Amino acid sequence: MEKHIGVIGGDQRILILAETLSENGFDVLLWATDKSKAFNSPNITFAKSLDEIIEKSKVLVGPIPFTQDGKYIFTPLSQQLVEIQSLIEKLSGKNIVLVASVIPESVKNFCKEKDVNFFDLYEKEELAILNAIPTVEGCLMIAIEKMPVTLHSSNILILGYGRIGKLLAKTLKGFEANIYVASRKSSDLTWCKALGFLPVHLCDIAKYINKMDLIVNTIPAMVVTKEMIDKIRDDTLIIDLASKPGGVDFEYAKKKGIEVVHALSLPGRVAPVTAAQYISEVLLSLLEEIWG
């Protein structure tokens, strides 16, 4: 079987991924990416249209994240807009596999309705774990740049103890910061205590939030509400790592003069080469499954 892959949208990670796919013997067609990028491989070409990619490809690789607004796919390197509904309808009835990351449930349901086969790379645990590494490094970069005090001896509250929360707490421990971790799960709080962090039940964060120099949210739900923001000092920095719409009332925080950074797609911004390597490993494994 001829191994043609279409790649649409995405940031610098996708361009590096295209080169890796080419090196592994795939013919790659690009759409809605940076056309000024020069590739050494003759196996990488820019498509004239989305229809051309769909006509020639067996697999269509989308961006990370797949979308930021729910209507168009993520195309930060291009002015080209690719409407999600239109894309899925074009794929309907075609024997093409859509591979993307962080696909919203509404899009997944629409794919099922239109009989479009899809894979969400972020459902691969290995990629989700690896991607936490550049996310944490990017978070620390933002904190060091924007905080008027050192991380050392700072009071830092991490909301959530998932993949990113675990790695962030572990990394911050090396800065000798005072690390508070908030979670609903008693097992998470017990692990935090065992590892030397200060465990806080999520429903009790109002008792601690006023003493924080830095608050990092990893929970994809509204956690830092107006009531919480009223208790936060105006010199506290908030970094929200959760995907849109995030877990902070951004407008109210701005009104109160509290700085909030919604740090989206950090791996692609701070370490695109490493992030692309992670994606490539998982994608190549998935392609072996698809092609047998």
Residue 2: per-residue pLDDT: 59
Single pTM value for the model: 0.85
What's the average pLDDT block by block, 10 residues per block, for the chain (292 residues)? 83 90 92 82 90 92 91 93 96 92 93 95 89 96 97 98 97 97 97 97 96 97 96 97 94 97 91 90 86 66
Cβ burial 100-133 (10 Å sphere, 16+ → b, else e): bbbbbeebeebbeeeebebbbbbebeebbebbbb
Cβ contacts of residue 204 below 8 Å, gap of 6+? 182
- The secondary structure of 11-55 as a DSSP string is -HHHHHHHHHHHHTT-EEEEESS-TT---S-TTEEE-S-HHHHHH
Half-sphere exposure in the Cβ direction for 68 (13 Å, CA)? 14
Type of residue at 220 = P
Q: What digits encode the pLDDT tens for the residues 214-252?
A: 999 999 999 999 999 999 999 999 999 998 889 999 999
Distance CA 173, CA 238 (A): 19
Distance CA 115, CA 185 (A): 38
Please report which helix (H) or strand (E) contains residue 286, including its range: helix 272-291
8-state DSSP, 145: H
Cβ contacts of residue 73 below 8 Å, gap of 6+? 8, 9, 32, 62, 63, 66, 67, 82, 84, 87, 100
CA distances from 266 to 31, 93, 240, 253, 272 (A): 23, 35, 11, 22, 9
- The distance in angstroms from the start CA to the end CA of the chain is 10
Dihedral sign from CA coordinates of 229, 232, 238, 242: negative
Dihedral sign from CA coordinates of 271, 61, 124, 92: positive
Half-sphere exposure in the Cβ direction for 260 (13 Å, CA)? 23
Please report which helix (H) or strand (E) contains residue 238, including its range: strand 237-240
Residue 40: per-residue pLDDT: 81
Distance CA 93, CA 102 (A): 23
Fold agreement (4-123, 128-268): yes
Please tell us whether the domain made up of 4-123 is placed in CATH 1.25.10.10: no
Q: Which fold has domain 128-268?
A: Rossmann fold (3.40.50)
Question: Would you kindly state where each structural domain of the chain is located, as residue ranges?
Answer: 4-123, 128-268
Residue positions counted in the chain: 292
Residue 1: per-residue pLDDT: 43
Two tokens, residue 153: 């001896």
